[in-house]
Structure 1
Amino acid sequence: MSGLPAGDVERLHAAARAIRDRTPAQAERLLGEVLARHPAHAEALRLLAILQLHTQRAPEAVATLQEAIARHPGDALLHADLGNAHSARGERDAAIAAWRRATGLDPTQPVPWFNLGRALQLEGDSHAAVAALETACALAPGLLPATILLGDALAHLGRFDEATTRYRDALRQHPASGDAWRGLSNIKTVALADADAAALATQLQRRDIADSDRVAMGHALGKLEEDRGRFPQAFAAFAAANALQQRLTPWRLPPLEAFVEQALAATATLPAPIDPTLGHEVIFIVGLPRSGSTLFEQVLAAHPQVEGASELPDLGIVIQQESVRRGVAYPQWVPQASAADWQRLGRDYLARTARWRAARPRFTDKLPDNWKHAGVLRAMLPGATVLETRRDPLETAWSCFKQQFYSQPHFANTVADIGACLRACERALDASRARDPARIHLHRYEDLLAEPEAAVRRLLADCGLGYDPACLRFHAATRSVRTASAAQVRQPLRRDTARAAAYGALLDPLRHALGLPPA
């Protein structure tokens, strides 16, 4: 507030309160009054940009902050908020650059370090994310999101003891932190203790906790009870958590069924690609979640020519941006797209993912939900390899039911929806594979467990890769694994991963949804 008269200082305080209280018109008026007298004042411009962000005007916020920085290049807060504005526009590289600049100008501010760490973690640079998040936690030990995200980044790097320490730190601050319990539970190779069972029971009895925390703790309790062999109690905990999540964010089957029908019809005939080799660098891994996709990616990422990029949003973003450009929802515009259109979209995807080819020539894109777009890949990225992973349907479905998914609404909250979604996914991929058998390949989790070397050789051959014995030592890889299977894929292959049979008739509704006989 330096250099402002007392009246304008109070106006800026009042504007900040108005932004907080969601009265944007009042905030705009107060900021306008101050800026009319002090058009170059850094804090007034910064608050204006924050208001613009809060009112969905990110391009204006970027322009306001850039104007302010031109006048005050050494103001760390302006650079920090510029990172926020770029992030709101999806400009990740510019956001990271702005947060880096903010941390350089004022290394004592924890929030820019947190934002930088979060962005680096999303980029897959978990080592750099850990360093940034450790700084944020050192500067602000009570910054709960930084503590939890640091635990996540450490877990993704396989540093599970350190991750556990961070999650426990978070629980000492907030015993009902669902994200901390979720992090502990996702270290699936380490069972929670009896003391954790008592703590979870105590927290779940509280009435003053957020529903999201209650869902996460319910999943953690279910995992704990399963590890103790108390299967009815585990089933009850998972069912209660999913029922609450379904009430909070209902998922509906009819839109998915309609989408699959439209997509199969729209992709039946596609123009011949201009460049049949476009996308040969890419190995897509698709299918239902919890079907072994992370394990297959870990095997491939052990190959010296392959970078494991984990779950990338880029394919869906490119298709969504084209839908916005055309003003028509996908897949309705697919029949109107020319070979040149598909080549442009394929090149857009490759440009967005170029960083994953900096060290190795090939990379994996392991977003299971990309099964919804597999039908267009023979026109958009005709040189790409598509691997569908499948696992025993009951084990896949039950594993989905037990997993808390970040993205909501989600089909995994009810057994009926899981069964229907599994059938839709397999139907769509069967049709896509029949249309493009040279590029879309089916690989089964159980085959990898039964005959690892033979399955790995076939996997590599389907990707056009030579055999490398390192792929059988996948568990020794040090890459970041940013999925719920991070702990499991750092162990040698285990043949005792099946869990559904222990639940007996409790899973008969799920068997019915999958078209399987009862127990």
Structure 2
Amino acid sequence: MQKQYTLNDALTAVRQGHRSETVAILNDFLERKPKIGGDWLKIAGLAIRIGELDKAKQAADIYRAEMPQTLRHLINYAGVYAETGDIQRGLKLIEPLIKKELDDPSVYHFAGTAQAQLGELDRARNYLIHALRKMPQSGITWFTLSSITDYKKYPELLNKLEQAFATIPEADAKNRQQFYYSLGKAYSDVGRFDDAYQAYSAGAAIMQQASRFSASADEQFINDIIANHSAEAVAKLPQSRTSYNRAVALLGLPRSGTTLLGQMLAAHSKVKGAAETGAIGYASMHLRNDNFADFPGFMKQHGDPQGAIDHISDVYAHVVNQQFSGANLVVDKTIQLSRHFAIWAQAFPQGKAIYIQRSPEDVAWSCFKSNFRSRADWSWSPSDIASYMRHEERLMKHWLDVFGDRVLSIRYEDLCQQPEQTLKQVCAHLGMTFEPNMLHFYKDNGPVFTSSVGQVHEPIHQKRIGLSAQYKDFLDAWRQS
């Protein structure tokens, strides 16, 4: 008799890094369709957590069919589709409710967030402002609105933001944190740079309490990667036999211009899209930290090293193909892809990479002011930022030595000041011909899920080059670390 899995079995498999087992458990649930009500939402969440987006949608469909047809359940259902990248589907479910003029602010928040990600900034702003009329104490709504708003053009919104913040209790730390980052953005827009730094610092201090980042552990991790991945050690690793030839890696620190370059490339006729796919993480979730630090050593001990790298490339391709169908290139700008780059490079031996760099001062300040949440807990203090950046630079220098002309280095400043010339270099590296439409990426591009959402839906400019100079106290603390 075949075992009938439980939700706890699925949770355990995910925690232990057993992706294949998790997939089998998800398949069992989707085939049996047990009456588990709201737990179908948890099944969808687990599917997203391992990159099984199609299974997440299937679970969400069952959730929708089983649960009462309430507004909350509809928003949950639409949220799964949005989280899988199908924002249009989510909007189609929610926007009819707006036409009914419902009073629930969550409807307008959802629609505003989705429209912002799609680049419909005026419509997004209207929705978010409407949500705040109903619920002015919503920090996440203010934060989303701030990311797409220039407060110089909307000074009345700054007054309302300050008034709303004054009503937030000290004990409501999570909400205050969102308000602090919103205020920081607003004060920066209107040139109140000291106030902006104080607001960002207050928000970061709240986040710092939950940080697990250890500068010494991170340094050791990078030391181990560099020591164990010499050119000789990498050359001995098996290369995948995959026929998948869509992979392009976009490397660089957060806020170094990866989203901008990704959107420019996505405007090319031979590129399907650009995103933080997370695919290399899903494909190698069975590996432990020490395996990442010494992948050659892990492969030496593996009973079937060729099969192991083929499996990683197959899972990666499966994950990406769910997000981007077709045969065109896909630009992967996943955060910390540099730390998995040796694995990626062996999984896709024909794959090319672009490494984009930016003024360290501008990167450091931009990381500090970006509300990355738990994905970058090194970004909440000047000293942690300095340490992380220093070791990331060492790692990238090492990969440039190991992989040579497979990686093209460019600078953000060149991309802004000489976009056509820089893009021609990138296109040549990827075996493509430059297309003028790449310079007009902001007119018709894909959804953006990063903190650059408001910036990459506008023409290229140089306004953010050197912006860190306005924050001397931060730079002093960063440089002294």
- On whether the aligned pair clears a TM of 0.5, the verdict is yes
Match of 1:507 among 452, 464, 475: 475
> Residue 252 of structure 1: CA displacement?
2.2
1:460 aligned residue: 427
Return the alpha-carbon distance in structure 2 between the equivalents of residues 62 and 217 of structure 1.
Answer: 38
CA gap of 1:154–1:191, structure 2 versus 1, over 3 A, is: farther
Contact kept in structure 2, 1:374 and 1:429, CA below 8 Å: no
1:431-446 matches, cutoff 5 A: 431-446=398-413
1:132 aligned residue: 93
1:16 aligned residue: none
Match of 2:264 among 271, 295, 299: 299
2:17 aligned residue: none
Contact kept in structure 1, 2:378 and 2:384, CA below 8 Å: yes
Contact kept in structure 2, 1:188 and 1:488, CA below 8 Å: no
> Residue 494 of structure 1: CA displacement?
0.6
Return the alpha-carbon distance in structure 1 between the equivalents of residues 309 and 13 of structure 2.
Answer: 31
1:223 aligned residue: 185
2:302 aligned residue: none
Percent pairwise identity:
24
Return the alpha-carbon distance in structure 2 between the equivalents of residues 243 and 226 of structure 1.
Answer: 19
Q: For residue 219 of structure 1, what is the amino acid of its counterpart? A: Y
1:7 aligned residue: none
1:85 aligns with 2:43: yes
Q: For residue 479 of structure 2, what is the amino acid of its counterpart? A: R
1:352 aligns with 2:319: yes
More relative contact order in 1 or in 2 (CA 8 Å, sep 6+)?
2
1:464-483 matches, cutoff 5 A: 464-483=431-450
Contact kept in structure 2, 1:124 and 1:309, CA below 8 Å: no
1:293-442 matches, cutoff 5 A: 293-323=258-288, 329-337=291-299, 338-408=305-375, 410-442=377-409
Judge which range, 341-350 or 223-232, deviates more. Answer: 341-350
Judge which range, 60-69 or 225-234, deviates more. Answer: 60-69
Residue deviations 1:302-361 (CA, integer Å, cap 9, x gap):
10110223111121122222449xxx6533454231344222211221122113442442
Contact kept in structure 2, 1:148 and 1:167, CA below 8 Å: yes
Return the alpha-carbon distance in structure 2 between the equivalents of residues 435 and 276 of structure 1.
Answer: 21
Return the alpha-carbon distance in structure 1 between the equivalents of residues 400 and 245 of structure 2.
Answer: 17
Contact kept in structure 2, 1:110 and 1:135, CA below 8 Å: no
CA gap of 1:292–1:61, structure 2 versus 1, over 3 A, is: closer
Judge which range, 236-245 or 394-403, deviates more. Answer: 236-245
> Residue 485 of structure 1: CA displacement?
1.4
Residue deviations 1:433-490 (CA, integer Å, cap 9, x gap):
1111121221210111221111010011111212212112212123212222122222
1:22 aligned residue: none
1:44-59 matches, cutoff 5 A: none
Return the alpha-carbon distance in structure 2 between the equivalents of residues 354 and 408 of structure 1.
Answer: 24
2:58 aligned residue: 97
Match of 1:173 among 113, 134, 152: 134
Match of 1:286 among 247, 251, 258: 251
1:262 aligns with 2:224: yes
Moved over 6 A (4+): 53-68, 136-140
Alignment partner of 1:481: what SS?
coil
Return the alpha-carbon distance in structure 2 between the equivalents of residues 117 and 281 of structure 1.
Answer: 29
CA gap of 1:145–1:273, structure 2 versus 1, over 3 A, is: farther
1:234 aligned residue: 196
Alignment partner of 1:488: what SS?
coil
1:24 aligned residue: none
Residue deviations 1:88-142 (CA, integer Å, cap 9, x gap):
3544322312322454677833344323322222222221121133357779956
TM-score (norm 1): 0.79
Judge which range, 120-129 or 285-294, deviates more. Answer: 120-129
Match of 1:212 among 165, 170, 174: 174
Q: Name which one, 1 or 2, has greater alpha-carbon Rg.
A: 1
Return the alpha-carbon distance in structure 2 between the equivalents of residues 123 and 64 of structure 1.
Answer: 21
1:154-165 matches, cutoff 5 A: 154-165=115-126
Contact kept in structure 2, 1:49 and 1:62, CA below 8 Å: no
Residue deviations 1:385-419 (CA, integer Å, cap 9, x gap):
22111111101111111111132561111111111
2:158 aligned residue: 197
CA gap of 1:330–1:458, structure 2 versus 1, over 3 A, is: same
Return the alpha-carbon distance in structure 2 between the equivalents of residues 140 and 79 of structure 1.
Answer: 29
Judge which range, 331-340 or 230-239, deviates more. Answer: 331-340
Return the alpha-carbon distance in structure 2 between the equivalents of residues 512 and 458 of structure 1.
Answer: 36
Contact kept in structure 2, 1:279 and 1:382, CA below 8 Å: no
Match of 2:214 among 247, 252, 260: 252
Contact kept in structure 2, 1:279 and 1:383, CA below 8 Å: no
Judge which range, 449-458 or 356-365, deviates more. Answer: 356-365
Contact kept in structure 1, 2:246 and 2:327, CA below 8 Å: no
Contact kept in structure 2, 1:120 and 1:128, CA below 8 Å: yes
Alignment partner of 2:272: what SS?
strand
> Residue 80 of structure 1: CA displacement?
5.5
1:35 aligned residue: none
Alignment partner of 2:158: what SS?
helix
Alignment partner of 2:250: what SS?
strand
Alignment partner of 1:284: what SS?
strand
CA gap of 1:234–1:67, structure 2 versus 1, over 3 A, is: closer
Return the alpha-carbon distance in structure 2 between the equivalents of residues 96 and 223 of structure 1.
Answer: 35
1:116-155 matches, cutoff 5 A: 116-134=77-95, 141=102, 145-155=106-116
Alignment partner of 2:275: what SS?
coil
Return the alpha-carbon distance in structure 2 between the equivalents of residues 429 and 57 of structure 1.
Answer: 33
CA gap of 1:194–1:435, structure 2 versus 1, over 3 A, is: same
